[in-house]
Amino acid sequence: MFEYAPAPESRDVVDIKPSYGLFIGGEFADGTGTSLKTVNPASEEVLAEVAVASADDVDRAVRAAREAFGTWSAMPGSERAKYLFRIARIIQERSRELAVLETLDNGKPIRESRDVDLPLVAAHFFYYAGWADKLRHAGYGADPRPLGVAGQVIPWNFPLLMLAWKIAPALAAGNTVVLKPAETTPLTALLFAEICRQADLPPGVVNIVTGAGETGAALVNHPDVNKVAFTGSTEVGRLIARSVAGTGKKVTLELGGKAANIVFDDAALDQAVEGIVNGIFFNQGHVCCAGSRLLVQESIAEELLDALKRRLGTLRLGDPLDKNTDIGAINSAAQLAKIRELSDLGEAEGAERWSPVCPLPDKGFWFPPTIFTGVAQSHRIAREEVFGPVLSVLTFRTPAEAVEKANNTPFGLSAGVWTEKGSRILWMADRLRAGVVWANTFNKFDPTSPFGGYKESGYGREGGRHGLEAYLDV
Amino acid sequence: MTTSLADVAASNVTLRAFLHGLPGVDRVGADQRAAMLGTRSIKTTAKAEAIDLAIRMVDLTTLEGADTPGKVRAMCAKAVRPDPGDPTVPKVAAVCVYPDLVAQAVGALGGSGVKVASVATAFPSGRSSLDVKVADTAFAVAAGADEIDMVIDRGAFLAGDYLKVFEEISAIKTACGRAGDRQDAHLKVILETGELSTYDNIRRASWLAMLAGADFIKTSTGKVQPAATPPVTLVMLEAVRDFLAATGRKVGVKPAGGIRTTKDAVKMLVLVNETVGEGWLSPDWFRLGASTLLNDLLMQRQKMATGRYAGPDYFTLD
């Protein structure tokens, strides 16, 4: 009876060029290597051709950053702040354009890029702009110095937000950067390059080199890079840690996760259901801190699952540009294959698979929201990061068992606790080995709050005062 | 009602244990959910359908000390034909008046299909004896009211005297009865959510009213702010959904007070659609208590049809 008519956000606000070069020393330049095509994962339409930076290109970018470092780091913090504030304001002014472009290139729903990603991106720049002239008061010594050139490699799940997490603190602290966006989602980083020019940021302070793994390796291994920051898979994180070992480069790694979202029998059930949905289906589950393991107290498991399944029936999957879409496209064919593989494995291992009735579009990469029940700790879907809209449901009997099961993973990025009992929240937070513990909420981000992992989820913190440490010589 | 719930009101102790055993409501989460649903973009055909549905759900209300028979007759004419220039505009669901004006409304609406609702029980404060409240209700029922909008005793609820509230609702429910073949008056129970304040209280009061026999639960009198906010409506919709699952009995919801624009009304319909589903998307199960909303719906309806806005003087006052 109440079918929502299509409500697509207009594409006209973005002007995608047929091809893009590299952003080095304040100028766009062709790469010397080949190029790659970036596609809209919702339609498989090719959006643009993007240069692949060779080792030589990376070297040019690092040299440009080194050259800019002298003036940028010598500039009074209050002056650097002006640039960052200006960038933040331009991001706000152009937020619709950036949101549409992000959705086109990444496949995430426009509701999320518009209401979550972009506001957070601007907030990060505003927040770190505020630190630029207060570094002496950050608790890292009387006059903390920047490190030099930061080589930053970011993932495809929150392309612009991860860029902001990397670039804003680096610049505030006086470093210059060479950033490599993911090969499937380079477009918003390239639009950000344009914004740097619009803000009159001195040439070479921000350099963007596009490409795939080899480009990233060339950047990370470049001898004149002082700091490596990486967000991505644990597998690649391990390679990076190995390659920079003994070089004196400072490293922060933000890697995978397999977060437990723990629901106690006294939780606010309707809000817990929302939190579970937000925890695992936000951004198609392409979230390193996704609540991919639901640990529910056995006494309410049935009731909660019924409510969760009913709620999943109302999720709207489809055109990411439609303002009413809740679940967009899987970012790439490769990621879709991985999600399929792990899901099939879940079934083969004996877990029960369930998805709501959910027609998938013919073109593009899609995966329905999926729940596995009857999952045991020993199943691979309870151990490995799926990085997709796939939830594993496990049960527990006592708070102690919940803690044990939650911690029984090689990862330790985030966790969620749902209970109306405040003392239990504190008791749990003390015992959970996770960088972030959310209480009665999930996937909540704020630039003032440090974020990072335990164990195989990486090391170092991003965000807040803590995030400055990674970019200061302390 | 299932036997397990039949004994819930055996004493204030059992009633309290049951109501306090309901899952809590996290305010931040409920606000967030309602805000997210408020971002739904309802356009073109969906908007046109939503506007007509919203018009059919309106309880056109006048509850002023200055109400007169003339004012009520004028409002009844508007209820039957909201836009004299456009016969395709549907009728509203009901008019809502004070008990002493029910007879006027019944006379003006006779046979039109628009229902007559009357507030009762020492509206809006509810501060009187049970006898007075029952008499107030019986007077309105005898005058021909199809629906009674009663207020609960918020003082008793906040003091923890749930049984008193329960028994009062039961007594009013009985007073809604009619002898012979004539249908009993439908009972809407106003919680006055602005005075209950917490969402936990709103959930408990919703269950209490439903257990006591409410046919509808209604947010507010319109005399207290905040009134029908989206999160409050969300919590009440969750309550009727859970009550149906637990007892097999379906109860309606009526947000009232503060719904002034088409946008507000459409947001309410989205809340219904995505919380309890289309089973509630009918005037039998969902009403919008409002006085000024109707003209905004008419204005937007005309805009949808013609592509332009007419000035306020092109829509009748009442």
Chain segment A36-47, per-residue pLDDT in tens:
999 999 999 999
Q: Which of B20, B22, B25, B26 to mutate to test the interface with A (most CBs of A within 10 A)?
A: B26
State yes or no: pLDDT of A345 exceeds 80.
yes
Whether B275 contacts B237, CB under 8 Å: yes
Alpha helices per DSSP H over chain B: 3-6, 12-20, 27-37, 44-57, 69-80, 102-109, 130-142, 154-158, 162-175, 193-196, 199-211, 230-247, 262-275, 293-306
CB contact under 8 Å between A2 and B238, yes or no, is: no
Q: Which residues of B are catalytic?
A: 149, 218, 254
State yes or no: pLDDT of B8 exceeds 80.
yes
- Angle between the A301-312 and A269-281 helix axes, to the nearest 10 degrees? 60
- Angle between the B162-175 and B130-142 helix axes, to the nearest 10 degrees? 30
Round to whole Å and give the CA distance between A206 and A190.
Answer: 11
Chain B, nearest residue to A421 by Cα: B24
> Taking residues A102-106, what's their average pLDDT?
98
Which residues of chain B does A324 touch, with a Cβ-Cβ cutoff of 8 Å? 40-41
Round to whole Å and give the CA distance between B102 and A76.
Answer: 76
| Domains located in chain B, CATH noted | 29-306 (3.20.20.70)
Q: Which distant-in-sequence residues (6+ apart) come within 8 Å of B247 by Cβ? A: B1, B2, B5, B210
> Taking residues A321-350, what's their average pLDDT?
98
Mean confidence (pLDDT) of chain A: 97
CA B115 to chain centre: 13
| Nearest chain A CA: its distance from B99 CA (Å) | 35
Q: What percent of chain A has pLDDT over 70?
A: 100
CA-closest candidate to residue B275, choices B303, B246, B241: B241
The three-state secondary structure class of B172 is helix
What pTM does this model have?
Answer: 0.96
Burial of B156 (0-12, 13-18, 19+ CB in 10 A): middle
Q: What letter would DSSP give residue A284? A: G
Sheet strands side by side (includes A390-396): A352-354, A370-373, A390-396, A293-297, A260-263, A414-418, A436-439
Q: What letter would DSSP give residue A411? A: -
Which residues of chain A does B57 touch, with a Cβ-Cβ cutoff of 8 Å? none
| pLDDT classification of B181: cutoffs 50, 70, 90 | confident
Whether B117 contacts B146, CB under 8 Å: yes
3-state helix, strand, coil in chain B (%, to 5): 50, 10, 35
> Taking residues A166-170, what's their average pLDDT?
98
Amino acid at B135: A
Q: State pLDDT tens for residues A425-473.
A: 999 999 999 999 999 999 999 999 999 999 999 999 999 999 999 999 9
Burial of A115 (0-12, 13-18, 19+ CB in 10 A): middle
CA A12 to chain centre: 26
Round to whole Å and give the CA distance between A392 and A375.
Answer: 6
Q: What letter would DSSP give residue A139? A: T
- Which of B23, B46, B53 is the closest to A3 by Cβ? B46
Which residues of chain A does B32 touch, with a Cβ-Cβ cutoff of 8 Å? 274
CB contact under 8 Å between B46 and A274, yes or no, is: no
Beta strands A27-29 and A22-24 are antiparallel
Interface of B with A (CB under 8 A): 23-26, 28-30, 32-33, 39-47, 49-50, 53, 238, 269, 273-274, 278, 281
| Nearest chain B CA: its distance from A3 CA (Å) | 6
| pLDDT classification of B2: cutoffs 50, 70, 90 | low
A254 is known as an active-site residue: yes
CA-closest candidate to residue A204, choices A29, A3, A68: A68
Burial of A382 (0-12, 13-18, 19+ CB in 10 A): buried
> Taking residues A240-269, what's their average pLDDT?
97
Which residues of chain A does B47 touch, with a Cβ-Cβ cutoff of 8 Å? 5
Round to whole Å and give the CA distance between B290 and A446.
Answer: 39
Whether B293 contacts B254, CB under 8 Å: no
Round to whole Å and give the CA distance between B209 and B214.
Answer: 5
CB contact under 8 Å between A270 and B53, yes or no, is: no
B121 vs A223, B149, B150, B208, CA distance in Å?
Answer: 82, 8, 6, 17
| pLDDT classification of B5: cutoffs 50, 70, 90 | confident
Q: Which distant-in-sequence residues (6+ apart) come within 8 Å of B243 by Cβ? A: B206, B207, B210, B249, B251
Peptide bond into B124 cis (omega under 30): yes
The three-state secondary structure class of A392 is strand
CA-closest candidate to residue B56, choices B89, B102, B83: B89
Residue with tokens 């004419």: B77
Burial of A388 (0-12, 13-18, 19+ CB in 10 A): buried
> Taking residues A46-74, what's their average pLDDT?
98
Question: pLDDT at position B3, please?
Answer: 56
CA-closest candidate to residue A237, choices A216, A223, A258: A216
DSSP codes of every residue in A311-342 = HHTT--BS-TTBTT-SB---S-HHHHHHHHHH
Question: pLDDT at position A32, please?
Answer: 87
Peptide bond into A359 cis (omega under 30): no
Which residues of chain A does B41 touch, with a Cβ-Cβ cutoff of 8 Å? 4, 7, 323-324
Round to whole Å and give the CA distance between B125 and B148.
Answer: 16
Whether B9 contacts B211, CB under 8 Å: yes
The three-state secondary structure class of B244 is helix
State yes or no: pLDDT of B1 exceeds 80.
no
Mean confidence (pLDDT) of chain B: 96
Q: What is the ipTM of this complex?
A: 0.95
Q: Which of A9, A112, A183, A254 is an active site residue?
A: A254
Q: State pLDDT tens for residues B130-180.
A: 999 999 999 999 999 999 999 999 999 999 999 999 999 999 999 999 988
| pLDDT classification of A1: cutoffs 50, 70, 90 | low
How many other β-carbons are positioned within 10 Å of the β-carbon of residue A76? 10
What are the two backbone dihedrals, phi and then psi, of residue A392, each rounded to the nearest 5 degrees? -100, 130
Q: Which conformational region is residue B124 in: left (phi greater than 0), alpha (psi within -120 to 50 degrees), or beta?
A: alpha
Q: What letter would DSSP give residue A472? A: B
Q: Which distant-in-sequence residues (6+ apart) come within 8 Å of B267 by Cβ? A: B37, B38, B40, B230
Tokens found for residue A167: 């670039």
Round to whole Å and give the CA distance between A7 and A43.
Answer: 17
CB contact under 8 Å between A1 and B43, yes or no, is: no
State yes or no: pLDDT of A331 exceeds 80.
yes
Residue with tokens 């700790």: A377
| Domains located in chain A, CATH noted | 11-255+454-469 (3.40.605.10), 260-439 (3.40.309.10)
